[in-house]
Structure 1
């Protein structure tokens, strides 16, 4: 009935999340409200870690892609679960450090890292820096020399694999702002340059072919291409790359149309390719890093709103407006991302209406979905949008001077605030 197994309907006919009544949570904490199921987040981490144990003999690291949802409590959870984290900004590094996350288990990404960010990463001992381009490689070598450091790096490589996903979120093909292309020879050139540098410790390669991918074949092809690249690097430079970061991009179930593959299936089939090609090329099986983000937190989150108005335009559409919108979930405006929705206080009733869910921002494109099946909505109803744990809070904004919602974690039948709701004073805190 629902896109995630932590959702159900109780005896009141209300939607429950992690065993708690979402209507009660909306009353207690206010709306709009992000909810995150901590137990499910931990379970997903453990599934990925188990797959590393099973298919790579434990020689790997699960690095949560924290751009999906970055806050101090998430980093605490990752630390306690023995996961690494993938960071993409000085802000994410700082947040993780402030939560006590060990820098050695961080990976630092980005296509245009500033000197400030690189110096910060060097100062705090970030474990791996994924270098995106030759300009950055030279900059990092200089900064490392000035700081008396020798950072461990991986080169971000574009394997040229089309992941058959939305064009905005495909990152493995040659026409991408990320990484070195194999086809042009620049990826091999980067390895040659890095191998010569005195203040750089080149240990591996990284690729990421896209996001929300349901097909295993592109991942298998990317792994094959990357092992071929590692062979070429060895032949050209004599350097044996001992680490391979295969990125993330594993799809999740947003609606009934989505059919994600079990994580273990991804991991087993990709490991088969890695081991086969390593043996074929006479290379050691590399230490494997993966960077799941959406698949760890996406299904573990929902957002609840209060319905304000209903507007019926005969023979056109019916609008249901809520007390949030693109400022707390911009993904429909950006990608036309589909979500499942349910009226939390009428969850036991049939979805006998089709509506456009509108936000309260002063933008005609401020929508959370069109042609959405829903129970008949009226003012005061509580609307839940499902599978919003990833890229909702992290992409939220104060557009129209709206305040960002709180995040409430649920675990073992209890709830607690992990990110406070913004106040009016927060909105003007930096104004002069």
Structure 2
């Protein structure tokens, strides 16, 4: 059924007010459409009727072209964990920059960062670097298939593993003929998330062809749905049984603890992928695993496999990533950040419930998703109306309701966010009742 008339009217009014407040962003958007399809190069950031254009950022705030300031509760979809102007990283990058930008050669900082990652993640005996989480997952899958000499890749409904490994839903095509998505044409099996027996039922008939099972310990873009520990443990046992490689995509969940959610649960996969903030603010990805798998890249072996990438070991990224792990991504600071996220989620759910608002927050630690439980056709309009209300009150989040905290967010910011969320939700309650 169509969106309710009152909700549609409220959303139209919110869009009109948004447009009137942001003429400079609108002008920038119109200019951008002359050379960029849809005015941008990252679909995740697109907002209708047009996105805001940011001019600067400092600490936990960003400022748009029209001079509006927003407290950043999105943190670039988990990657901006350090805030907008971390002085430790700034100094490290400035010092590294004085020595040169790009060498096309090895530096000691490459092994420095690798040592940190292999020390933190029990599944990483050896590690290789890439330029994004997408690259890391593509390379991890391909490496695992080469290791097992098999062809099929198991992913899960709701999973997201990067721009070319996205939008997996049961019943949709497994290849590249997916509406609204580009997808690498691996031979996918799309299994039900949090359902070991359902996964076995799909995989069992072709188990000898399955080389990889790739899973997020918590669905990220799929709605911040945590994996049941029993589900992950079941996958661990099942991959051992059928001889497949189990890969944990911890690109997002690696912010839950120094060694990711795998260390919190005590479940060690064969391979792990990470990215985002481990580059210290620069583009970064990494994939690592057991020595018997990763040693195929050892150039001292006559049968080694090539893996290139001009910026895989960019000195600035290596220095920034190493500095971040050594001085910022400490166990104590990460625990504090995730405790703050847990409190935010609890406060949101309590406040939404008390106000009779049709929203609920899910997630783990500092990663949160706001869901709407209205009728299906009203869900996206309601989230959009909530989004515009939060922007008007000075808070930055995703239009789809995604939140991710950064180290600059304070308890005071959390309380103010919750207050603004209840006020913004009131417009949804009014329009939907």
**What TM-score comes out, normalization by structure 1 length?**
0.32
- Greater relative contact order structure (CA < 8 Å, 6+ sep): 2
